[in-house]
Amino acid sequence: MRKRFEISVEDIEPQMDEVLKTQGIPSDKSPPEKVKSLFQESKDIFLKYSEPVGIISDISVFEFETVYRGEGLNEKETPLDEILNKADNLVLFALTIGERVSEKIRELFKTNDFALGCMLDSVASAGTDKGGDVLEENFFNLLSKKGKVNLQKCILRFSPGYCGWHMSGQKKLFEFLNPEDIGINLTDGFLMIPLKSISGVIVFGDKEIFNFDDNYPFCSECTTHECKDRIRKLFRDLRPEKEKGGR
């Protein structure tokens, strides 16, 4: 299966607290009015100029091992090494919000409007990341229609450049997925163009396989430890209160 998704920009609209968190502003603090208005202005530009589109494509564990090996530069042990052989299904994915938002960011920096340029950059990154969530949901829904989903199953995505998967892994990933079909190209330095793009693998399987510790040698350099939040979310009980025995 290979599937392209035209995604509604409203579905990837980032919230202010999500964006400010990436700038180090905690969600329990109310930001100054100036910051709120910069966020609003950035979000309006984002909604006007984003053109989100994504693609997913089935890949077997065997084939993915070749993709994951990449140029042989991954860390010795990684979370994906542990998870892969226990996964039920994998898809490669890529998503972009297009070039027009990046053009706007460049224009703002050229005209020395750094405050708005920085905020738009953060909004666009958060929106692109949300696009990844939408692709995960779409994949999950496809599996659900095939009757593969139950309360023990979930999905998690991984990308080159993170968690021990070397950035150069983009090369093999592009050879297998061909995200050029949705307008994403790879530079010799493994950067995706448009810059506001993401790619990687979405893994589907039992929740337990994703319950890894953030104590790999490279984790000491990780500034976010966001795997902890992502894993915590997977283990949240999503059943309605009534089914959980609540009121």
User: Residues in the site for ligand SF4, rule: CB under 6 A?
Assistant: 79, 162-163, 214, 216, 218-219, 222, 225-227
Tell me the HSE value of 122 on the side-chain side, using a 13 A CA sphere.
Answer: 22
Minimum CB separation of residue 131 from ligand SF4 in Å reads: 19
Minimum CB separation of residue 117 from ligand SF4 in Å reads: 27
Pick 39 or 216: Cβ nearer ligand SF4: 216
Pick 73 or 222: Cβ nearer ligand SF4: 222
Minimum CB separation of residue 217 from ligand SF4 in Å reads: 9
Pick 143 or 167: Cβ nearer ligand SF4: 167
Minimum CB separation of residue 184 from ligand SF4 in Å reads: 23
Going across the sheet that includes 89-96, the strands are 2-6, 53-58, 89-96, 197-206, 153-158
CA 98 to each of CA 29, 94, 217: distance values in angstroms, whole numbers, following the listed order: 32, 12, 35
Pick 187 or 215: Cβ nearer ligand SF4: 215
- Tell me 121's DSSP state: H
Which tokens is 94 given? 């890529």
Which tokens is 58 given? 């089935």
